[in-house]
Amino acid sequence: MAESLHELLDPQRTVTDGAALKYLAHLADVPANALAASEPQQLTHTSHSVLLQIQALSKRSHKPLVASAASHSTLRQSLPALAQSAADLGQSVPRLDGQAEYFATTFGKAAESDTLARRKRALRMLQNSERLVDAMELPPLLNSAIRTTPVNYSSTLDLYTHIRRLASLYPSSPLVLSIMSEADIAIRQMAVDLISSLKAPSLKLAAALRTVGWLKRIAPDLISDASPNDALPALYLVCRVATLLNQLEALDPLRELAEEERSRR
């Protein structure tokens, strides 16, 4: 019945809405007298209800709808631009893949590249920068320790021993060789000061023993053709004899006066 009614009302089959077909099926089941009596009122009531719902929806959601319409107004321009960008990206992918393969081949772990070697050296230099700065500060630190009053000879000699250890670990490094050269100059000056202290007229035995002990620590680095055990006692005696001769020389005027007094008598 509904199909017949549909063919009668819409012979061209232009209406394919499911709601319309459902309503036609409803009309086919309604008696003819009910169609004339209650159906117009029901349609009016339904239309009014739908109108109220639409008004409520528009009142409640008109702002999001307007905002959505405004935000989607540029889709006609944005979508073609997006499609063009996607096409350009698709064309760029093979070139990117080729460049990535070239980079991996040129700068990979198995590749031998001057650029990569320089970069590795620069990174190694950066990683060891603090150590290099500490090593370069050793000679000034040693000179400062030697000039301190009173001199802490034990700490100074420990620092010099550390520098010599670096020189033995890196014998071919120009930086370490330069540091070692400056340290040798400073330690020789300290040795001169220690030897001068052995000539002090008021030198005590304990101080003399300590001084000889410090000289014994640096003697192997300063004396290569003699044993420290043989050279240091001789050095000590020479210093004390020189001090004695200086004191006797200072007493010469008194001796001359004494001889003059005896000759007058």
* Lowest mean pLDDT across 68-82, 104-118, 138-152, 226-240: 104-118
Question: What number is the average pLDDT over the span 159-172?
Answer: 89
pLDDT per position as a tens digit, 103-143: 777 766 666 667 777 888 888 888 888 888 888 888 898 88
Task: Give Cα separations from 245 to 152, 199, 207, 258 (angstroms).
Answer: 30, 11, 21, 19
pTM of the model: 0.49
pLDDT exceeds cutoff 80 at 193:
yes
Q: Which residue has the tokens 């050095």?
A: 235
Phi, psi (5° rounding) for residue 32? -65, -40
Structure tokens at 182: 């400056």
- Residue pLDDT, tens place only, 235-265: 888 888 888 888 878 777 777 777 777 777 6
* pLDDT, greater one: 227 or 190: 190
When pLDDT is averaged across residues 31-58 and rounded to a whole number, the result is 78
Show the tokens assigned to 187: 């330690």
Of 19-33, 141-155, 174-188, where does the model show the most confidence?
174-188
CA distance 35 to 24: 12
**pLDDT at site 70:** 80
* pLDDT for the residue numbered 199: 85
pLDDT, greater one: 162 or 36? 162
